[in-house]
Structure 1
Amino acid sequence: MAAQASSPVPPPDLDEIIKIMWGNEVKEEVFQRWKQGFKFSPDEPTALMQHEGGPCAVIAPVQAHILKSLINDFSPKTTNWTEIRQMESDRVSKLLIRALCEILSQAYAGNKYILVYMSDSEAHDQKQPLGSPSVSTAPDSTATSTFETAEQQSAKKSAENPKDHSYFHSQLRALSFECTEEVEAYYLERIDTLRETFGVLLFLYSVLCTKGIEALHCEVTDPSEPFVDSEFGYGSQSLINLMISGRAVAHVWNYDQDICGLKLKGVNKQCQVGFMTLLEHLRYCEVGSFLKNPINPVWVLGSETHLTVLFSFEKRLVSAETPSEVARRVFKSYDPEGNNFISSELLQDVMSSLDLVSDPEYVDIMRKKLDSENLGIILLSAFMDEFFPEEAVTIPDTFPVYHYNGLIRSCPNNKVVYQEGNAVLLETNMASVLESNSMLTCLQTKWPSIELQWVSGVTPSLN
């Protein structure tokens, strides 16, 4: 059995976590949409299923990390789909646990790993309550009669509806672990807790507890905006970013940006899996290279209401940032309004940030060359042509892609399976504005010249 230490979370934390998750009120109909375990498709053993809209903010990033492991375990030239599609449940469970541990590690704030479970789920050694005495079930509890009455009322209500949010929160307990090896061993012994009714929420609460309230408050732009939309139940961008990058920030650009004196936080490093969104095409946001060019060729795709996953076994689609990409990113950090130019007075700062020669005399020479008409601005294109001429393209012209949509009702014949497609990068940009092809429009935010042919003849849905 995994070594474990009882670790009751301080009393305020459960209330704070509930508030961060749901806002000032937990709406039962929204909570019910999140009430599901991690269950795999009978038609695609490594693909998670989603029953209702909302929990894709957790399920899609977990699926992305599962696919990351598959890509690293299988060579693109020897990909054996028969083996993948006949994978035994024990191996699939280990893939799931590996994905959960990776997400917890990203959120880890340096204290302990906190795993949340329900006291009525199964026997746990050294059970301890998560939260205030009002949710303690210990026989010698010193809770006041008011709390006892509330407990009795909750128990009565739970007997009528044993799966409502009041009962769920009353049963939460937590254990602490020192390392991911202990977490992995714990989950391996209790895999059913992940598959049960509240598996997704229990893991999400574990991520929030492991991150810690203080760290969450530091990263979330607006603490009053809950992670789950109170009307539709969708996960916020802060929640999506937490699951993908480990940071609960509201923006998807690189690093923090200063907009008119307001510091807005973004993603601070290249991520294991990436993110693209249709909203970037609509100019609601700008996805930085840390998410658009992740370490592994796996991207969570965002529509206006749902998250799916695109992946490929072609590892040449991603790489470390090239000098040209670094230069473009740094230049844009001095152009927060996205005008594709900077004041000529900022040229020395940009050159210095890129470790280019930045002696005042040389900068003056380059300023006059790049701003020959003395307009007081330096264009991005002129800067890149001068210092970072076009680099050799290493991305293949053609490559296979696969798409995952876990929402059962959005899949052909209600079967959650990976949809295979063939991508081609054309010589000219093919910006798509067809509302009927949101998939292509989304992918063109990364590959402007991409065209796709799907093996089934039907374009998979982003919704």
Structure 2
Amino acid sequence: MCDLVLWCVSPQRLQEVGTEEDLRKILFGGTFHVFDYEWRKSSFQFREPDSELSYALETPSGGARPVQMVVQARVLKYLLFMRQNGDEGRTLLRVGKKDQETALATALSDSLWLAGQQASATVTLVTEDYCVTPHLGYKLDNFTERLQLFTFSQKEDARKFILEHIHCFKDEGSHGVILFLYSLVCSRTVDRKQQNKLRRRVCTLLNLLLTGRASPNVFNGTLLFGEDGQEMERGRLLQVGSMLKTPVFPVWLCCINSSYSVVFGLNRSLLSDWKMEHLFHLYYYSGQSSQTTTARLTVDTHSHHWEAPADGDPEKRFPSLEMTIRTKWAGAAVDWSGHAPFY
């Protein structure tokens, strides 16, 4: 349970803004469905402070992992490039508890502010009182019915508020990922979210997290599929456009074999100076508990010794992460620096 501190904002109950049923309909298509156990136990917990992976969030397998890994990418952006202390592009430092909490609050507020079109952000927290009167066809989950909304017109105010209540998002049993997801939907506003039909595709949710727009597509510009404008056929791989592969900061969200992870670099110039792309290091965090060290890869884009096999499926011979990197740097050679390759 979150103990609310005094803040210069007027909280709204879900019943007052008519959102409780809309939230369920957006996410599940109806009011009878609730989040399963894996979602309800998910929060934003870091690895041990001041350890080698102290920058990393714990992301058990389950439906919440894509959301957690997007937040992980924003945490890395803050720790590597946004902190005031130290130089940009620093080596991976051991992160203390205070920096962990600040990074998480910044990451969450960044996504909420984008979802609010950089004009507002809404944070949802759990209270003791029930804010919704159940009715026929509405299934109680003892969680959504106790939400209150806090809306901010300044990004920094939202960040400070989240930091004050950071335990509501990171503590065990806090339902932290669900709270963040509800905050995201409310920041975007329900009406716009209904139009985008968020519940249909994971890609739509991830785009909302990454860009503030709930688009189901990841290609550049506009593409038409068939004479009647139908969506891409099911089972076809998403074609990620060059714009999403070239972010402002060298941090990428990856989906490899249906598992989400992050790849990142320490040098921001990697994306603005072509000379930096000849030979450089990338770092990989899979989100899996079995990973105990950060994998460092050396990427050589001028080496030509890598060639696809004459026959057969190349993905069966080369690690999937290497193949993913080559979608950005075609033909690059990847040295795992002694780490066991992630397939």
TM-score, length basis structure 2? 0.82
1:298 matched residue in structure 2: 251
Shift of 1:183: 1.1
- Asked whether the 8 Å contact 1:101–1:184 carries over to 2, the reply is yes
AA aligned opposite 1:177: F
Distance 1:80 1:311, change over 3 A: closer
- Asked whether the 8 Å contact 1:117–1:172 carries over to 2, the reply is yes
2:299 matched residue in structure 1: 423
Q: 1:399 pairs with 275, 280, 297, which one?
A: 280
1:213 matched residue in structure 2: 190
Q: Does residue 1:438 correspond to 2:296, yes or no?
A: no
**Counterpart Cα distance in 2 of 1:460 and 1:34:** 29
Matched residue SS, 1:45 = coil
Q: Does residue 1:102 correspond to 2:101, yes or no?
A: no
2:181 matched residue in structure 1: 204
**Counterpart Cα distance in 1 of 2:88 and 2:151:** 39
Q: 1:15 pairs with 11, 21, 39, which one?
A: 21
1:343 matched residue in structure 2: none
Matched residue SS, 1:243 = helix
Shift of 1:438: 0.8
Shift of 1:245: 1.2
AA aligned opposite 2:253: V
Q: How does 1:370-409 map to 2 (within 5 A)?
A: 393-408=274-289
TM-score, length basis structure 1? 0.62
1:66 matched residue in structure 2: 75
Q: Does residue 1:117 correspond to 2:125, yes or no?
A: yes
Q: Deviations over 1:213-248 (max 9, x none)?
A: 222233x2xx38545xxxxxxxx1111111111111
Distance 1:430 1:7, change over 3 A: farther
Distance 1:90 1:404, change over 3 A: same
Shift of 1:12: 4.2
Matched residue SS, 2:156 = helix
Distance 1:425 1:110, change over 3 A: closer
**Counterpart Cα distance in 1 of 2:216 and 2:70:** 16
- Asked whether the 8 Å contact 1:2–1:182 carries over to 2, the reply is no
1:32 matched residue in structure 2: 38
Q: Gaps spanning 5+ residues in structure 1: where? A: 121-126, 136-145, 155-164, 228-235, 266-281, 321-392
**Counterpart Cα distance in 1 of 2:198 and 2:109:** 29
**Counterpart Cα distance in 2 of 1:395 and 1:263:** 41
- Asked whether the 8 Å contact 1:430–1:448 carries over to 2, the reply is no
AA aligned opposite 2:283: Y
1:254 matched residue in structure 2: 220
**Counterpart Cα distance in 1 of 2:142 and 2:184:** 21
1:168 matched residue in structure 2: 143
- Asked whether the 8 Å contact 1:34–1:55 carries over to 2, the reply is no
Shift of 1:71: 2.4
Counting matched residue pairs gives: 319
Calculate the aligned-residue CA RMSD, in Å: 3.0
Q: How does 1:311-390 map to 2 (within 5 A)?
A: 311-319=264-272
Q: Higher Cα Rg: structure 1 or 2?
A: 1
Shift of 1:181: 1.7
Q: Deviations over 1:5-47 (max 9, x none)?
A: 123345542222222223335366x443452211001242111
**Counterpart Cα distance in 2 of 1:169 and 1:459:** 42
Q: Deviations over 1:46-83 (max 9, x none)?
A: 11001232212211111111111222145467x343xx
- Asked whether the 8 Å contact 2:12–2:150 carries over to 1, the reply is yes
- Asked whether the 8 Å contact 1:19–1:226 carries over to 2, the reply is no
Matched residue SS, 2:41 = coil
2:133 matched residue in structure 1: 134
Q: Does residue 1:4 correspond to 2:3, yes or no?
A: no
Q: Does residue 1:48 correspond to 2:57, yes or no?
A: yes
- Asked whether the 8 Å contact 1:116–1:174 carries over to 2, the reply is yes
AA aligned opposite 2:326: Q
Shift of 1:91: 1.6
**Counterpart Cα distance in 2 of 1:64 and 1:288:** 19
